[in-house]
Amino acid sequence: MKHVFIVNPVSGKADASLYLVPRLIDAAAGAGVDYAVELTQHAGHAAEIARQYGDDGGPVRLYACGGDGTLNEVFTGAYPYKNAEVASVPCGSGNDFVRNFGAAEDFLSLADNIAGTAVPVDLVAANGGISAAICSVGLDSEVAYSIPKYRRLPLCGGQMAYNISIVERLLQPMGHRLRITVDDDVLEGDYLIATVCNGVAYGGGFRAAPMADLQDGVLDVIMVKKMSRMRIAGVLSKYKNGLHYQNGRVVPELSDVLEYRRAQKVLIEPMDGKAVITNIDGECTPADSLSAQVLPLAARFVLPAPLYAQFEDRAPAVTA
């Protein structure tokens, strides 16, 4: 098997081509594997590289060395190929996908990653592309969409830009009138957030779907209804920490503002005809709607050796 390390040099706070590439070379050479290191040069390049190696036809393990955006691109390019599997060396700001199996630190041992084993995972077809973790519409995506413009300001780093974006959004009208089609059920109402989850977390650790399973062939849909500004902080605190859903149901104190469904396909449409900001694995963009459909066991994802041993002990056998 060929091991290909696809490195996003601008992911995270440091140039990965300077500190990470030498480590990758040392680890691969030390393991005695056939390897290559590829640096991405533009948006979408990681998907192009993945397709290139998939087209070669031989067994290949593609390591996404970056954040969730890089991992999304590698999944996008790799998943149609039965000869390709995807691994992660997380060095972005969120690294949410790997939280489904452990902590980001569990994936940083290159030796364990090289010795790891792939397991089948669901993906999501979302607005013509692929999502590995979570798609959303609403307050969360609008805050994330505004962050880059504040990062350009002097002395305005990541957390400061995030805080300013939240304040800006809270000063504007809240919520959207949405039509949400969950399989064959149609819901209409005023919502702050509508989230379609393949995995557990997004946004740097918001545990929107603590019950999500990447191998169950089902999407978890969480809808947060419009509410007073006085109540938002308390609700979102529980939402962030995964405390809004316990013992198989929404906690009673949030049942009037939060709804949970499971589905194989979801369509979210604004009823006022205006574009909404969609968030697909951290990439935010205006769109007329958000369409999501599960792709059961569509890809193979590598668990580092220690995590695979734990996974094998507790998980039922699943085959792609």
Give the pLDDT confidence of 55-65 residue by residue, as tens digits.
999 999 999 99
Q: How confident is the model at residue 24 (pLDDT cuts 50, 70, 90)?
A: very high
| pLDDT on residue 36 | 97
pTM score, two decimals? 0.90
Q: Residue 37 pLDDT more than 70?
A: yes
Distances (CA, A) of 128 to 27, 199, 222, 289: 36, 19, 22, 11
Q: What pLDDT band is residue 320 in, cutting at 50, 70 and 90?
A: low
Strands (E), the chain: 2-7, 34-39, 60-66, 84-90, 117-126, 129-131, 134-138, 176-182, 185-197, 219-225, 245-246, 249-250, 258-263, 265-270, 276-280, 283-287, 290-303
Percent of the chain topping pLDDT 70 = 89
Q: Let me know if residue 46 belongs to a domain.
A: yes
Measure the CA–CA gap between 68 and 11, rounded to whole angstroms: 10
Q: What angle do CA 296, 297, 300 make, to 5 degrees?
A: 150
The residues near 245 (Cβ < 8 Å, ≥ 6 apart) are 209, 210, 211, 222, 251, 260
Domain assignment present for residue 155? The answer is no
Task: Check whether residue 200 and residue 218 sit in a common domain.
Answer: yes
Domain-located, residue 320:
no
Mark whether 267 and 310 lie in a shared domain: no
On whether both 109 and 185 belong to a single domain, the answer is no
Residue-range definition of the domain harbouring residue 12? 2-116+304-314
Residues 249 and 308 in one domain: no
The pLDDT value given to residue 184: 95
Tokens at 179, concatenated: 């039509």
- CATH number, domain of 67, equals 3.40.50.10330
Confidence of residue 174 (pLDDT cuts 50, 70, 90): confident
Grade residue 161 by pLDDT with cuts at 50, 70 and 90: low
Is 83 exposed, middle or buried (CB count within 10 Å of its CB: 0-12, 13-18, 19+)?
middle
Establish if 129 belongs to a structural domain: no
Q: What was the pLDDT predicted at 316?
A: 60
Which CATH number characterizes residue 282's domain?
A: 2.60.200.40
Q: How many domains does the chain have?
A: 2
The mean predicted confidence, pLDDT, of the chain is 90
| Domain identity same for 199 and 108 | no
Amino acid sitting at position 191:
Y
Supply the pLDDT for residue 73: 97
Residue 282 lies in a domain: yes
Domain shared by 193 and 105, yes or no: no
Same domain, 27 and 52: yes
Q: How far, in Å, CA of 75 to CA of 62, rounded?
A: 9
Residues 98 and 207 occupy one common structural domain:
no
Is there a single domain that holds both residue 288 and residue 178?
yes
- Same domain? For 179 and 106 the reply is no
pLDDT over 90 (residue 274): no
Is residue 46 located within the same domain as residue 66?
A: yes
Give domain status of residue 156, yes or no.
Answer: no
Strand pairing category for 283-287 and 276-280? antiparallel
Residues 202 and 310 in one domain: no
The mean pLDDT value for 152-156 works out to 64
Residue 23 identity (one-letter amino acid): R
Residue-level pLDDT at 95 = 86
Q: What is the mean pLDDT of residues 194-207?
A: 89
71 closest CA partner among 52, 87, 54, 55 = 87
On whether residue 280 sits in a domain, the answer given is yes
Asked if the structure places residue 75 within a domain, the reply is yes
Site of tokens 């369509």: 267
What token pair was written down for 18? Answer: 């300077």
